[in-house]
């Protein structure tokens, strides 16, 4: 485990992460910080807790949309594989 510090909304947050996850954790923290700053700029009159909730909801919405896209892609791939398998079966049957 490695101890690192990330900055979110100007605050240093100490974390312990696996050595192999240091760079990824820094990238995630930077992304979260950018989202928080974006919402802070849009809603400057709101407290940080509200800003964080809005940013978390936005990030979660992105995650859900990507999951939906991935599931749709998997379904299309499965349908395509079924069609390919059917065509291969037909070819094998015709050759036999």
Query: How confident is the model over 48-89, as pLDDT tens digits?
Result: 999 999 999 999 999 999 999 999 998 999 999 999 998 899
In percent, the amount of the chain with pLDDT more than 90 equals: 83
Mean pLDDT, rounded, for 9-36: 96
Asked if the model's pLDDT at residue 93 lies above 90, the reply is no
DSSP state letter for 47: -
Sign of CA dihedral 19, 58, 44, 37: positive
The pTM for the full model equals: 0.74
> Domains of the chain: which residue ranges?
2-95
Q: How confident is the model at residue 96 (pLDDT cuts 50, 70, 90)?
A: confident
Cα 45 versus chain centre, distance: 29
Handedness of CA 41, 43, 45, 50 (dihedral sign): negative
């Amino acid at each position: 485990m490695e101890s690192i510090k990330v900055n979110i909304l100007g605050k240093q947050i100490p974390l312990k992460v696996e050595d192999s996850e240091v760079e990824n954790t820094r990238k995630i923290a930077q992304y979260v910080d950018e989202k928080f700053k974006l919402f802070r700029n849009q809603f400057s009159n709101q407290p940080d807790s509200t800003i964080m909730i809005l940013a978390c909801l936005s990030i979660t919405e992105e995650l859900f949309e990507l999951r939906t896209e991935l599931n749709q892609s998997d379904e299309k791939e499965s349908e395509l594989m079924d069609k390919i398998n059917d065509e291969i079966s037909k070819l094998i049957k015709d050759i036999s």
